[in-house]
Each structure stands twice: as structure tokens, then as C-alpha cells.
Amino acid sequence: MTLLFTADHEWLKLDGDVATVGITDYAQSQLGDVVFVELPKVGRSLKKAEAAAVVESVKAASDVYAPVSGEVVAANEALTADPAQINADAAGAWFFKIKLTDKSELDGLMDEAAYKAHTA
């Protein structure tokens, strides 16, 4: 399973042609305590860099962007019931899964070392 990152602080775990997407620990620490999450609907088509979800904290509301283009095939409804999961484990609390339409879009994403340098 490949782990990649965006400059907007989303992580993506690739398994075949389906990517699981969430926000990084860095993003969560910048937001503070997350209190609300709005997820994309299953079946929605997203373009790379399009706002896909919304995360609200006690400090601010922020969009979660699609790191790649594709169709939403799953949404983590447990997050809407308990958004605090993101505070406890941002790296494990996924938002949605997307079936990729163009694998070449992965080329613009960062590996873990590049992301750490990006946030340093």
C-alpha cells in the first residue's frame, strides 16, 4: 500500500485503483479540536484539487481536497457521528475512498520524506 501526501495536508493510501483519503496529523494540529465533518456522497465524481469534504474545528472551517480525480466509493460515516476520532488519530481516521480515473495524477504527490520537508 502506497502512502502519499498533498501540499494541502491530505494523505492518500493507494490500494490498486482505490485511494483512501484523510488529513495529516500536521493539518489536525493546525486546526485544533475537530468538532464537525461533512463528507462527500458516495457516487460523487471529484476532480483533482476540488473541495471534497469539510472539517470544522473550534478555530476554523477548512476544506478537504480530492488529491486525485475519481468517483467516491465510500465515506466514513463514523466520523460524522464522532469527529473527535480525527483529534485522536488523524492518520487513521479516513474521510472517503475514491476510485482513480487517472493514475498519472499521483505523480504530483509527495512521499513521506518530501511531506516532512514540506512541513518543516
- CB distance 91 to 25 below 8 Å: yes
User: Do strands 70-75 and 45-46 pair parallel, antiparallel, or not at all (unpaired)?
Assistant: antiparallel
pLDDT of residue 106: 95
CA 100, 114, 65, 90 torsion-angle sign: positive
- Cα separation, 81 vs 36, in Å, equals 9
- Domains defined for the chain, CATH in brackets: 2-119 (2.40.50.100)
Model pTM score: 0.94
pLDDT (tens digit, 9 = 90+) per residue, 37-95?
Answer: 999 999 999 999 999 999 999 988 999 999 999 999 999 999 999 999 999 999 999 99
pLDDT (tens digit, 9 = 90+) per residue, 2-16?
Answer: 899 999 999 999 999
pLDDT of residue 88: 94
| pLDDT over 80 (residue 1) | no
pLDDT (tens digit, 9 = 90+) per residue, 15-30?
Answer: 999 999 999 999 999 9
